[in-house]
Structure 1
Amino acid sequence: METALEQIRDQQKQTWDRFSPGWKKWDSWTMNFLRPIGDEIVNALHITAGDQVLDVATGTGEPGLTIARLANHGRVIGLDLSEGMLAVARENANQQGIANYEAVAGDVCEAPFDNHRFDAVSCRMGFMFFPDMLLAAQEMHRVLKPGGRLATCVWAAPAQNPWITTMMGAITAHMALPAPAPGAPGMFRCAQPGMLDGILQAAGFQNVHQKEMVSTVSFATPNEYWQNMMEVAAPVVAAMDQADEATRVAIKKSVFEALEQKRIDGEIRLQFTSLVLSAEKG
């Protein structure tokens, strides 16, 4: 892999290691938040009891742990750059009594597995952060058996995801942030219609299908939302680190006011939208 791409990979590793304590703290909440998307991925893979499955960007373990319960006579390997996140995944597997899940540190762009090893590959919210998305897709294709199945997801457009843009919009309204480099890793890197479809097809996948999923996430108070963003959302923290105290106060005020407008039946409800893609290896 090129030096520039290796630098992106190393930066991603450092970021996820840094935020792994926050992800551990919020793990139950986050997994419930992302569960509809994870369930859609699992359903698309048609897991059988004896399957060998690779869960890429496994983070704290999902949807790999759910898949491991279904492939109870098979095995699931969760692959991730971050040892900090993998430590949480291992702890979750132990607590849930799941013995057929193994957390492995590694880079999907240089997947440490033999050709044709897996029956299925899952990847929840990983593609947009990979240094080289095509190379990652090609590696997933390589390690799949003929007829193997892939299911993945990415965030849809910013306008469809006020759960994060409520915060980022307030930040950009009060701060002049530099524009990210074209194609740089980021949450909405794959939101353009047809982008990830094309990458999967270029990697050799067939029967590529995309489904848009819309749901909502709830917060009891604006402060709960604020704490969540400040402890798990790396782009938010990176931006807020550049703000002086007066700006931080102004941003928080704007966020809280915006959230109160989203209150329904006592809860703050924010929409999130993802694109779930499934494909096969011919």
Structure 2
Amino acid sequence: MDQELELIRDQQKEVWNKFSSGWKKWDELMMDFLKPVGDEMIRQLDPKGNDTVLDIASGTGEPGLTIASLLDSGKVILTDLSEDMLKIAAENAADRGIKNIETLVCDVCELPFEDNTFNAVSCRFGFMFFPDMLLAAKEMVRVLKPGGRFVTSVWDVPEKNFWVTAIMGTINRNMDVPALPPGAPGMFRCAKSDLMSDIFREAGLTNILEKAVSGKMNCQTADVYWNLMTEVAAPVVAALSKADAAMKDKIKAEVYEALNQKFPDGNVVIDSGAIVFCAVK
């Protein structure tokens, strides 16, 4: 990677370590929210009893921990840029009695494994943040055995993800937030039609399939939504850190109003849309 991309990677590492406490606090709600995507990924991956599986951008552990629980004599190696996130993953594994896992802090663009090591590779919601997505895909393919299975997920278009746009749209309307450069890491970077399939083909994958998966963020109240998003969403926190108290209050009031309009009964359960890709080396 060139120097600019390494800088992005190092900044991401710092951010994920910084927000790890928020992810630990909200882990149950977030894992429930992301479970439909994880379930579809596991269905596509179809882990076998003695598989060795690499899980990239593991965060607090899913779907790698569930994959490990399905293996008889196999194991899962959980990797992430953030050592603090992986500490939470290890704690979650211990709490669930899952012992056939290892955690390793590493960069997806420089995986410390031999060629043709893994039976399967999974990566839930990592690609949109990788500085060089093609290099990341090539590294995953390199360490995957011939015939090995690859599965990943990315967020679909903003229109299908009100859980993000409810707050970020309000922030963008009220503040002069610089637009991301084309192709820069971001939530919806991978939603562009054919983008990911083209990357996967170039990386050496075949039999590429994609499937839309919906989910629901069950916040129940506007307060829970606001607190969650201001404790785990780095772009939200970064933007609000530049707002004065009056602007923060205005944004919060408008977010609550948007939620109240969409959920007049007060039960805030927000739809999401993702795309799961599976392929073979």
On the 8 A contact 2:260/2:266 being kept in 1, the answer is no
Which residue is 1:97 aligned to?
A: 97
Which residue is 2:201 aligned to?
A: 201
The answer to whether the aligner puts 1:174 opposite 2:174 as a matched pair is yes
Partners of 1:181 and 1:18 in 2: CA distance: 24
Give how far 1:264 is off: 6.2
Give how far 1:266 is off: 4.5
Counterpart secondary structure, 1:180: coil
**Percent sequence identity over aligned pairs:** 53
**Residues 130-279 of structure 1: matches in 2 within 5 Å?**
130-263=130-263, 266-279=266-279
Counterpart secondary structure, 1:49: coil
User: Unaligned stretches of 5+ in structure 1?
Assistant: none
Deviations 1:6-43 (A, max 9, x none): 11110110010000000000111111110000001000
Query: What amino acid does structure 2 have at the position aligned with 1:94?
Result: A
TM-score, normalization by structure 2: 0.98
TM-score, normalization by structure 1: 0.98
Partners of 1:9 and 1:32 in 2: CA distance: 28
Counterpart secondary structure, 2:229: helix
Which residue is 1:41 aligned to?
A: 41
On the 8 A contact 1:262/1:270 being kept in 2, the answer is no
Query: What amino acid does structure 1 have at the position aligned with 2:41?
Result: I
What number of residue pairs does the alignment pair up?
281
Aligned structure 1 segments of 4 or more residues deviating by more than 4 angstroms: none
Which residue is 2:15 aligned to?
A: 15
User: Unaligned stretches of 5+ in structure 2?
Assistant: none
Query: What amino acid does structure 2 have at the position aligned with 1:270?
Result: I
Counterpart secondary structure, 1:261: helix
Counterpart secondary structure, 2:214: strand
On the 8 A contact 1:72/1:100 being kept in 2, the answer is no
Counterpart secondary structure, 2:19: helix
Counterpart secondary structure, 2:58: coil
Give how far 1:226 is off: 0.3
Deviations 1:188-227 (A, max 9, x none): 1101011111100000000001111123222221111000
